[in-house]
Amino acid sequence: MLQTSSVPMFPLKTVVKKSCSGSTPAKGNSSYYVNGDVPWLRTQDVRFNEIYEIDSFITEEAVAKTSAKWIPPNCVIIAISGATAGRCAINKIPTTTNQHCLNLEIDDSKALYKYVFYCVYSQYEELISKKQGARGDLNSSLVLGLDIPIPYPDNVEKSLAEQQRIVDILDRFDTLCNDISSGLSAEIKARQKQYEYYRDKLLSFPRAELEV
On whether residue 58 sits in a domain, the answer given is yes
The helix (H) or strand (E) run that includes residue 203 is helix 185-203
pLDDT tens-digit readout, 94-124: 999 999 999 999 999 999 999 999 999 999 9
What is the reported pLDDT for 212?
Answer: 35
pLDDT tens-digit readout, 127-175: 999 999 888 899 999 999 999 999 999 999 999 999 999 999 999 888 8
What is the reported pLDDT for 192?
Answer: 73
On whether residue 62 sits in a domain, the answer given is yes
On whether residue 100 sits in a domain, the answer given is yes
Measured at the CA of 208, the angle between CA 203 and CA 211, to 5 degrees, comes to 130
On whether residue 37 sits in a domain, the answer given is yes
Mean pLDDT computed over 25-50: 97
Domain that holds residue 86: 9-203
Q: Say whether 182 sits in a helix, a strand or coil.
A: coil
Mean pLDDT computed over 71-99: 97
- The CATH number assigned to the domain holding 41 equals 3.90.220.20
pLDDT tens-digit readout, 39-63: 999 999 999 999 999 999 999 999 9
Kindly report the pTM of this predicted structure.
Answer: 0.83
On whether residue 99 sits in a domain, the answer given is yes
On whether residue 74 sits in a domain, the answer given is yes
Tell whether the model's pLDDT for residue 8 goes beyond 70: yes
Of 9-23, 121-135, 168-182, 192-206, which one has max mean pLDDT? 9-23
DSSP string, 40-72: EE-GGG-SSEEE-----EE-HHHHHHSS---B-
Number of domains in the chain: 1
On whether residue 64 sits in a domain, the answer given is yes
Mean pLDDT computed over 17-45: 97
What is the reported pLDDT for 204?
Answer: 66
Angstrom distance (rounded) from CA 106 to CA 8 = 18
With a pLDDT cut of 70, the percent of the chain lying above it is 86
On whether residue 117 sits in a domain, the answer given is yes
Angstrom distance (rounded) from CA 196 to CA 55 = 30
φ/ψ (deg, to 5) at 203: -110, -10
